[in-house]
Amino acid sequence: MNVTFQDIEKAQRAIAGQIIRTPTIKATRLSLRTGVNIYLKLENLQHTASFKARGALNCLLNLDDDAKQRGVIASSAGNHAQGVAFHASRLGIPATIVMPKGTAFNKIQKTEEFGAKVILAGDNYDETQSFTHSLAAEKNLAFVHPFDDPHVIAGQGTLGIEMLEDQPDLQKIIVPIGGGGLISGVATAVKHMNSEIEIIGAQADLYNAVKRHYDANTGPVEGGATLAEGIAVKTPAERTMRIIKQHVQRVESASEEEIEDAIFNLLSSEKLVAEGAAGAGLAAIFKNKEEFQGQNIGLVLCGGNIDSRLLSTLILRGMLREGRITRLRFEIDDTPGQLADISNLIGDEGANVIEVIHQRLMQAVPLKKAELDMVIEARDTAHVQNILTNLRAKGFKVNQMNEVA
């Protein structure tokens, strides 16, 4: 079954009032920094913090009454699970979600809070998927696929209509690609409304199956742990690949470092929490900012479900890269008052001391000397260099320890 613009319009009418009609806003600070007019579709504002709720809801609404009474089943460790769980609970449909055994507890808890029964099975996606299909057949449950389903694709495509309603002057739209359901729906809608708009896919380097197809690269997808876990799919569906080849002009991919940097920039510049998949899209803009200069570029900020512990580490690493947090190492005389003098000088320069490690017992340090490590918070790299210059002018032997490239 092909997905048409009429299918997407029908989905839009069906889900209206049951999902959040998210805004498309200009990313003012990022636009100023890059010279590109960046417009963000804020799907992180959905009830489940992801676009996945759209397709899940449309799929559930198209089930017959018998299937709704028997219940539905889905396999997912993330956004699809929560989308199915949330809307199935609202509609009074029993929902079972199968997750891999190693799924983080907070994801299990959030899915259960939405009213679904969670079963842990399988050590990887393939094993979990196999168990899910077996259980679906055994219990006669309707399987809700995360991307290879025409109703799911049509539901995701509704956000494409909304983007052009809000920003009709977009010249390019960048959409993350995992299994391909989101970009298939968005591309179908957008190309019908304005065939001149270029659709660009965004993937992680570790899961770049679609980009490899566009580049005629027949080598295997590398895989592995990625920050963009929402798009960590090695093999898109045949259905979504047909649509992608028809409507998508090119596909970009981003390294883990580029994705991390993009998430940090969304948070620090626009005060928006985004997950790794959304970071891949912004990374594509950063990599092509010279080409995109002055253009109106839409970006689907597809979700905001990122682990809080991971996010806190990401913020600290981002501040380290920007020079806002750095470690200074001193070799000082082992005499009273040295630490106080250094602290006062750093404070006078407007920086803040976060951590101090004072060592005099290490054999590498001369007997009448001490080694002092200070972690400080500054405004930027230029501020750090000014602090170093003034400390050295006062006679202190100090070096900056670069811990993040």
Average pLDDT of the chain is 92
In the block, residue with structure tokens 């054999």: 363
pLDDT in tens, 300-329: 999 998 888 899 999 989 988 888 999 999
From 3.30.390.30, 3.40.50.300, 3.40.50.1100, 3.30.70.3340, which CATH number describes the 53-143 domain?
A: 3.40.50.1100
Q: Which residue has the higher pLDDT, 360 or 267?
A: 267
Model confidence band, residue 365 (pLDDT cutoffs 50, 70, 90): low
Q: What CA–CA distance (Å, rounded) separates 198 from 174?
A: 9
Mean pLDDT of 161-165: 98
Model confidence band, residue 360 (pLDDT cutoffs 50, 70, 90): low
Report the pLDDT value the prediction gives residue 125, as an integer from 0 to 100: 73
Helices (H) and strands (E) in the chain, counts: 16, 14
CB 228 within 8 A of CB 277: yes
Mean pLDDT of 188-211: 96
- The residues facing 147 across adjacent strands are none
Residue range(s) occupied by CATH 3.30.70.260 in the chain: 322-401
**Homologous superfamily assigned to 322-401:** ACT domain (3.30.70.260)
Report the pLDDT value the prediction gives residue 126, as an integer from 0 to 100: 72
pLDDT in tens, 230-255: 898 888 899 999 999 999 999 999 99
- Poorest-pLDDT segment among 96-105, 189-198, 374-383: 96-105
Report the pLDDT value the prediction gives residue 218, as an integer from 0 to 100: 78
Residue range(s) occupied by CATH 3.40.50.1100 in the chain: 5-51+149-317, 53-143
Q: What CA–CA distance (Å, rounded) separates 364 from 344?
A: 27
Token output for 291: 């080409």
Residue 363 has pLDDT above 60, yes or no: no
CB 161 within 8 A of CB 8: yes
Mean pLDDT is highest, among 101-105, 193-197, 363-367, for: 193-197
Q: 5-51+149-317: what fold?
A: Rossmann fold (3.40.50)
What 3-state class would DSSP assign to 61? helix
Model confidence band, residue 107 (pLDDT cutoffs 50, 70, 90): confident
Q: Which residues contact 305 (CB under 8 A, 6 or more apart)?
A: 48, 49, 50, 78, 79, 82, 230, 275
pLDDT in tens, 54-106: 999 999 999 999 999 999 999 987 899 999 999 999 999 999 999 888 777 87
pLDDT in tens, 269-297: 999 999 999 999 999 999 999 999 999 99
Report the pLDDT value the prediction gives residue 405, as an integer from 0 to 100: 44
- The residues facing 143 across adjacent strands are 73
